[in-house]
Amino acid sequence: MSNSEQGHTCVVGLAWGDEGKGKIVDLLCECYDFVVRFNGGANAGHTVCIGDESFALHLLPSGVLHPEKTSVVGPGVVIDPSAILEEIDGLAKRGVRVGENLRISDRAHVVMPYHKLEDQLSESSAQQGGQIGTTARGIGPCYADKMRRTSAVRICDLMNFDSLEPRLREIVCAKRVGLSAVYGQDVVLDVDVIIASLRADAARLKSFVTDTGVLLQEAVATGRRILFEGANGTLLDIDHGTYPYVTSSGTTANSVAPGAGVSARTVSHVVGVTKAYATRVGRGPFVSELNNEIGDHIRTQGNEFGTTTGRPRRCGWFDAVVNRYSASLGGVTEIALMHLDTLSGFDEVGMCVGYRLDGRDITTPPAHVDQLERVEPVFEMFPGWSEDVSRVGTIEELPENAKRYLRRVESAVGVPITIVSVGPERSQTIIGATCAMTEVNDAASS
């Protein structure tokens, strides 16, 4: 995307998370005034590499590494006060000051200690009808309370702690009784400890808290530019993902409006971030998964271990079916294709270009998890390339087989690739690839 283009942009993941959104937000944010998180919580782990340093951001927008940008945590995010303060303190220790450049929504919901406890208990309990493989950050239980309303706590409640306290005592008591009954054990929740620590956190958070919806609406009205940073990935979307193996928020650009408090007309560009292969962490269907030495090799080459939990990521070939589904659902205007370097050295590189369910071809993922588990991938195989591409700066310099593979990704997903990433660092990026790709396409067809 050229710097001169106007409009606001959203960066989202097109798969099951960890596509490289942090790197792309960091790269694009020099053209924007605001960087805004609108969904999820500390389940996210966005890596930004600057020089020799690597930062893992969970609740803070990746723009926070650029103090001249305003970073906003919107009302659609669920905030664990101790986690966000820990992140701020961790950055301060590394010389990154977070002050007036961070704004936190007064309407965002608070992840409480009992949410994290419930997340852990539900994951470890055999009776609960199967685990999701969550990040155990309390995300699902917090969003559930948000919908339930009466037991929810928002940031604005923390800012009026004296009136919150009696209600909080009742909520904690009810949670203790409820969790003990459901999980058949004496759950310990010390209300005085919870209140003391939350009161201290609330006092520290106060200077960051504001009505971020008004802030962003004014920014739009006065021609400032906003970059929205999606967390998780499209296939983890609560409504459109591989349910129930999803997270509990809307993860596409369609959730920017409610999650950030701006109008539905705000976002004009959507950058879909996706890897040149596929990964998933946690449980759930994964049609193009490679449960073999090829999958293991991708994991090792790509260093595919969770940024938040350290869990090994499941690996497979690029799935064009789900990427096309995600791109169409989220109005994706361009693709950032990540980790092309990881595919160097394979004799053949595969791509899932179709799904077969019970002997029939299908073009989109079915709704029911049982059907999705039965889907068989239709793979197309491509000759690989042995060259190290991690220092390549233009599309033209890429090996022919890599270019052919990229062209197939573009045509299979139906969206132009404008960024190709060949390593974790900023410098390892081919920008404006779409023009080059078009030229390559033209040359190929002439």
**Catalytic machinery residues:** 18, 46
Residue 422 binding ligand IMO, by CB under 6 A: no
**DSSP class of residue 430?**
E
In the list ligand IMO, Mg ion, ligand GDP, none, the entry touching 140 (Cβ below 5 to 8 angstroms by class) is: ligand IMO
Give the contacts of 150 (CB within 8 A, at least 6 positions apart).
none
Give the contacts of 112 (CB within 8 A, at least 6 positions apart).
138, 142, 153, 194, 198
Residue type present at position 164: L
Residue that the structure tokens 């609406």 belong to: 217
Our CB check for ligand GDP shows the closer of 213 and 306 to be 306
Chain-centre distance for alpha carbon 121: 24
Q: Which residue lies nearest ligand IMO, judged by its C-beta? A: 282
Our CB check for ligand IMO shows the closer of 285 and 436 to be 285
d(CA 249, CA 335): 22
Pick from 10, 15, 16, 23 the residue near ligand GDP by CB under 6 A.
23
Count the residues of the shown chain that bind ligand GDP, applying the rule CB under 6 A. Answer: 22
Shortest Cβ 250–ligand IMO spacing (Å): 12
Site for ligand GDP in 333-352 (CB under 6 A): 338-339, 341-342
d(CA 162, CA 437): 60
Antiparallel, parallel or unpaired: β 348-357 and 376-383: antiparallel
Shortest Cβ 198–ligand GDP spacing (Å): 28
Residue that the structure tokens 């609740």 belong to: 59
Query: What DSSP string describes 125-176?
Result: -GGGS------SSSHHHHHHHHHH-TT--BHHHHTTHHHHHHHHHHHHHHHH
Pick from 25, 45, 113, 145 the residue near ligand IMO by CB under 6 A.
45
Site for ligand GDP in 202-261 (CB under 6 A): none
Residue 307 binding ligand GDP, by CB under 6 A: yes
Pick from 9, 10, 18, 142 the residue near ligand IMO by CB under 6 A.
18
By CB under 6 A, name the binding residues for ligand IMO. Answer: 13, 16-18, 43-46, 132-135, 137, 139-140, 231-233, 236, 245, 247-248, 281-282, 307
By CB under 6 A, name the binding residues for ligand GDP. Answer: 13, 17-23, 45-47, 49, 302, 307, 338-339, 341-342, 421-424
